[in-house]
Structure 1
Amino acid sequence: MSRAFVKEDGPDNAPLPDLPISPHPNFVTPSGLAALRARLAEAQARLMALRGRQERLDKLPEAAAERDIRYLEARLKSAILVDPAAQPRNEVAFGATVTLAESDGSERHFRIVGEDEADGARGWITPQAPLARTLIGAGVGDVIAWKRPGGVTELEILAIAYGPGPEVA
């Protein structure tokens, strides 16, 4: 193929815009820090594999991998590791797994984790989440009022645990 038909410079070869970085402090649990490092290693391996392709006319996958690497490097650089052992045992703080009783008697578990670790399906919420903001500073036996779109729900804190703990959901 003639070089005349190869588009080497254009909008599809420009770097992708960076992913937005949160303005909040980047608190991370030990498992969250390990996960960020693993994601960075995976993104770097993906980029190396993409650069080793025979056909490299489509640069978009490489640009996406480079963008992801920039994001992950920035998150690692700004990470503030929180040691669960240093957290207060008698109140909810970052890294806590909280067992709550709802008004109907059912129990729910939530874990307060860093933004890159949050997963609503697992019950892992960020410190900026409305529920986390309501829980932080509360202790076992406290009843909190959680303002939800459907109205206010009262929840009683049954237990607070730190560390990896059981899977919550």
Structure 2
Amino acid sequence: MSRAFVKEDTPDLAPLPDLPVSPHPNLVTPRGLQALRDRLAAAQARLADLRARSDRLDKLPEAAAERDIRYLEARLKSAILVDPRAHSGNVVAFGHRVTVEDDQGRRTVWEITGEDEADAHLHRIAPQSPLARALTGAELGDLVTWQRPAGATELEILAIEVPDDT
């Protein structure tokens, strides 16, 4: 390759644009707070490994790790710890696990968690989601309406629990 196309005398890459941070309050469960701390430690270790490489021509992985660290530090700084055990188990609140039954008789267990902890595959939903908004404040036996893109669904609250692993 011709050396005419290689920039050797320029400074390191400018930082990558920051990841978008949610405008909503950063509510976290104790488990979610620990997960953020663990992710930050892993990102810092990854950056240290990248900086220890003998061949550091490609700076993009380092810039990505630095960006991830900035994001995680911002999320930790804005974290509002909410212990689900502080809420009554009679009313659905942040951090609670809720068993519902839909109008077809299907039972599902959902857990209202922080945004960084939310994972649809694990049935963990953010408090701003339409489902979490429908469930929050409901009591055992209540019927709530979940406004979905496919249409509204009635859900009956069968159980409200504080997860053991919060």
TM range (shorter): over 0.9
Partner residue in 2 for 1:123: 123
**1:165 Cα offset (Å):** 5.5
Partner Cα separation in structure 1 for residue 33 and residue 165 of structure 2: 16
**1:8 Cα offset (Å):** 4.4
Partner residue in 2 for 1:9: 10
Partner Cα separation in structure 1 for residue 9 and residue 67 of structure 2: 19
Kindly indicate whether the alpha-carbon contact (under 8 Å) linking 1:97 and 1:165 is maintained by their aligned counterparts in 2.
Answer: no
Kindly indicate whether the alpha-carbon contact (under 8 Å) linking 2:31 and 2:165 is maintained by their aligned counterparts in 1.
Answer: no
**1:116 Cα offset (Å):** 0.4
**Secondary structure at the residue paired with 2:101?**
strand
Structure 2 portions without partners, runs of 5+: none
Deviations 1:10-43 (A, max 9, x none): 6x71110010111100000011001000000000
**Secondary structure at the residue paired with 2:73?**
helix
Kindly indicate whether the alpha-carbon contact (under 8 Å) linking 1:36 and 1:76 is maintained by their aligned counterparts in 2.
Answer: yes
Deviations 1:77-120 (A, max 9, x none): 11011112101211111001000011121200100000000001
**Secondary structure at the residue paired with 1:13?**
coil
Kindly indicate whether the alpha-carbon contact (under 8 Å) linking 1:112 and 1:124 is maintained by their aligned counterparts in 2.
Answer: yes
- Percent of counterpart pairs with the same letter? 63
Q: Does 1:138 align with 2:157?
A: no
**1:163 Cα offset (Å):** 2.8
Partner Cα separation in structure 2 for residue 112 and residue 160 of structure 1: 11
Partner Cα separation in structure 1 for residue 114 and residue 121 of structure 2: 15
RMSD: 1.9
TM-score for both structures, normalised by structure 1: 0.91
Structure 1 portions without partners, runs of 5+: none
Q: Does 1:22 align with 2:22?
A: yes
Partner Cα separation in structure 2 for residue 48 and residue 6 of structure 1: 24
Kindly indicate whether the alpha-carbon contact (under 8 Å) linking 1:100 and 1:107 is maintained by their aligned counterparts in 2.
Answer: yes
Kindly indicate whether the alpha-carbon contact (under 8 Å) linking 1:85 and 1:162 is maintained by their aligned counterparts in 2.
Answer: yes
**1:164 Cα offset (Å):** 3.2
Partner residue in 2 for 1:105: 105
Q: How many residues align?
A: 163
Listed as ranges, the matches of 1:44-123 within 5 Å are 44-123=44-123
Partner Cα separation in structure 1 for residue 138 and residue 29 of structure 2: 20
Partner Cα separation in structure 2 for residue 163 and residue 126 of structure 1: 16
Task: Check 1:8–1:91 CA distance in 2 against 1; reply closer, same or farther (3 A cut).
Answer: farther
